[in-house]
Structure 1
Amino acid sequence: MNGGGLVISLDFELKWGVHDVFRYGRYNKNLYGVRKALPKILALFEQYHIHATWATVGLLFAESKAEMAHYLRGIPVKYEDMRYAAYTQLAKVGENEQEDLLHFGRSLVEEIKRTPYQEIASHTFSHFYCLEKGQTKADFCADLYATKTITDGYIAPMKSITFPRNQVNKDYFQACLEAGYICYRGPTNHALYNTSKGRWLGAKKWLDSYFNLTGHHLVTFKDMQMAPLIDIRSSAFLRPYCSPLRVFEGLKIKRIKEGMLEAAKAQAFYHIWWHPHNFGKHIDKNLAILEELLRYFQELRSHYSFESYSMYEVAKLCLHPERGISNDF
């Protein structure tokens, strides 16, 4: 019988994920810090035998600005608020990764590829917002096609997808299925996480990361929606270390450990996610938090047969529990 497990997914996006939020270089320290943080995260994953999903913005696979422009021309999305559109940022993009460490990421993808048991998945090609006004299903399909084309022959076909800003549009599930995806990461299963609008809701989400306001959000096979995409929903967002609030760090770690323990006892899954750029500042502090959680995972693995899974591995178990897991990335 499956003993449940820890699922980890990271939304790897660099500047493409925050260009509409942080302007004038205000977040650049975090973004540049990804170059140091990501290899160290991978080293911890390898040390503790962690299987993880890296949901990667397709633009990061490009090797030149011209290649980016070529693919973006095929995605005619016209948001009502055009600050969301990736192609409006092209004027700020350098010619290649050597010139521009904020918009290119192929060398980092190579490091993920070299690390055992890491799944490279989709975070859409252009950090596509599936619920914003102006975008259409045809635009989304064009975005899916761009990801498939730029990665063809470079990595194994993607099977998992995470939607930018957790904007899950169920009308687009069939398109995902036709593109080869079988699972996605849905938002945490509580009314508080059904929307990102409003400061008060944001404050309550923050509090829930430190104090158990909404439960542990375990994920079970019974809960996973099977038609047409399997929902391997989030249990917790791993918030980055915050120096002014360092007194709360122990509470955050305790909250996640309690969820992991409950999942292990219930033979369920516990799904943690974050962005590499969350670790781009206070890198050592964030890595120490991650390692403490991974050490605790090892204890649970020993006592409860609590294993490590990527999203795709959980989806395969959900579809064919009798087959177990084959490490075929």
Structure 2
Amino acid sequence: MPHGIFTVSLDFELYWGVRDKRSIEQYRHNLLGVRQAVPAMLQVFRDHDVHATWATVGFLFFDSRESLMQNLPRLLPSYAQTVLSPYPYIQSSDCLEATYHFAPDLLDMIEACAGQEIGTHTFSHYYCLEQGQTLEQFAADISAAVATARARGLRMDSIVFPRNQWSRDYLATLSQLGIRCFRGNERSWIYQARADAQETRLQRALRLLDAYLNLSGHNTYRIAECLREQPFNFPASRFLRPYSKSLARFEWLRLRRIKAAMSDAAIHGKLFHLWWHPHNFGTNTFQNIHFLTRIAEHYRDLNRRYGMRSLNMGEICRLGNS
């Protein structure tokens, strides 16, 4: 590619992404704020021609517990830690409040916005590296996600693995089910795919510091290498951490870190991949949207100066098939 590529992926999960760690009450404000954050993000994307992949948990396609229950996978995950499975929670709930669990209205909004792709974040927010689950159960989960999207008239080209847990053993399943690309991890050891129990405080601390200071490099990638074999790996470059009042004085460092990596990709014809969760913008929405706008403005400047393009993950796939 003579020009760099700027891609964005969002892990769209609502409560399913934090259910095993927090109660709805503990995370209520972030979850409620998604309803304002999504249209605000789409407006930024529309204004600056930013293309993005919305990797969506399959549960969000439904509108009620009853409709979800009618479409469960053939096999359910048998995690050693039962709290990781959402199915006991679903089965024990008389009603799942739509605001926190379902989002067909937001998916309609995303579909209607040019340049936006709906991908999968697995059907159930499936954890590929946790003990007890099997490859066959993973295949059943992804089959359910693909079928759910197909019923809506969507083709699933792209996947983001929940908690960035993936291994090569699972990639063949993706190709068999028509999924052509995924978001891999940054190359530094502090971002290595691992089960939750294997995460250390040191790794978390270094990832936080890396958001402000260049510890792991620009994490930009040669596009030809990304397109070498299917499923294509479009690795993450930077997690867009949400605004923090306690760290507000360092916002200029966080922005400089991202802009420097984007510029590196534009100048050298490489890929820069930014990602976050919509619920990260559920609080401090104004500050987060303002920060995102400054990133989008930098992309437009790089587009004018170097011809950088914004493509979603599915669009980058098509470069590999052209």
Match of 1:209 among 202, 208, 211: 211
Report the equivalent of 2:164: 166
Distance in 2 (CA, whole Å) between partners of 1:86 and 1:62 is 15
1:29 aligns with 2:29: yes
SS, match of residue 187 in structure 2: coil
CA, structure 1 residues 3+73, in 2 after alignment: closer, same or farther (shift >3 Å)? closer
2:63 matched to which residue of 1? Answer: 63
1:5 aligned onto 2:5: yes
d(CA) in 2 for partners of 1:275, 1:92: 27
Distance 2:230 2:298 in 1: 35
Match of 2:140 in 1: 142
Task: Tell me, in whole angstroms, the C-alpha distance in 1 between the residues paired with 2:30 and 2:133.
Answer: 29
**What is the CA-CA distance between 1:244 and the residue it aligns to?**
1.0
CA contact (8 A) 1:93 1:103 kept: no
Cα distance change on mapping 1:225 and 1:302 into 2, 3 Å: closer
Q: Counterpart of 2:40?
A: 40
1:311/1:233 CA distance change after superposition, 3 Å: same
Partner of 1:154: 152
| Alignment TM-score, normalising by the size of structure 2 | 0.95
The separation in 1 between residues aligned to 2:238 and 2:164, in whole angstroms, is 13
Instruction: Give the CA deviation at 1:182.
Output: 0.7
The amino acid that maps onto 2:12 is: F
Residue of structure 2 in register with 1:244 after alignment = 246
Q: Distance in 2 between matches of 1:157 and 1:73?
A: 18
Please give the alpha-carbon distance, in whole angstroms, between the structure 1 residues aligned to 2:92 and 2:308: 46
Q: Which residue of 1 aligns with 2:86?
A: 86
Residue 11 of structure 2: SS of its match in structure 1?
strand
Determine helix, strand or coil for the equivalent of 2:297: helix
Q: RMSD across aligned C-alpha pairs, in angstroms?
A: 1.5
Contact 2:120/2:156 (8 A) holds in 1: yes
Match for residue 306 of structure 1?
Answer: 308
2:191 equivalent in structure 1: 193
Q: How do residues 286-297 of structure 1 correspond to structure 2 at under 5 angstroms?
A: 286-297=288-299
Residues 179/290 of structure 1: CA separation in 2 closer, same or farther (3 Å cut): same
Asked if the contact 1:128/1:143 (under 8 Å) is kept, the reply is yes
Counterpart of 1:264 in structure 2 is 266
- Structure 2 CA distance for aligned equivalents of residues 50 and 160 of structure 1: 17
Structure 1 CA distance for aligned equivalents of residues 24 and 45 of structure 2: 34
Q: How many angstroms does 1:169 deviate by?
A: 2.1
Q: Which moved more, 1:8-17 or 1:150-159?
A: 150-159
The number of residues matched between the two structures is: 318
Alpha-carbon distance between aligned partners in 2 of 1:290 and 1:28, rounded to the nearest angstrom: 23
4+ long deviations beyond 6 Å: none
SS in 1 for 2:117: strand
Partners of 1:219 and 1:271 within 8 A in 2: no
> Which residue in 1 is equivalent to 2:106?
108
Q: Deviations over 1:273-305 (max 9, x none)?
A: 000000000000000000001011111000000
Q: Report how far residue 62 of structure 1 moved.
A: 1.0
Match of 1:283 in 2: 285
**CA-CA distance at 1:110 after TM superposition:** 0.6
Q: Which amino acid aligns with 1:86?
A: P
Alignment gaps of 5+ in structure 1:
321-329
How much does 1:224 deviate?
1.6
Q: How far apart, in 2, do the equivalents of 1:9 and 1:190 lie?
A: 20
Partners of 1:93 and 1:100 within 8 A in 2: no
Which amino acid counterpart does residue 207 of structure 2 have in structure 1? K
Alpha-carbon distance in 2 for matches of 1:292, 1:155 = 34
CA separation of 1:24 and 1:10: change in aligned 2, threshold 3 A: closer
Q: Is the CA contact 1:69–1:87 (under 8 Å) kept in the aligned structure 2? A: no
SS at the partner of 2:43? helix
> Any idea what SS the aligned residue of 1:156 has?
coil
C-alpha distance in 1 between matches for 2:92 and 2:36: 23
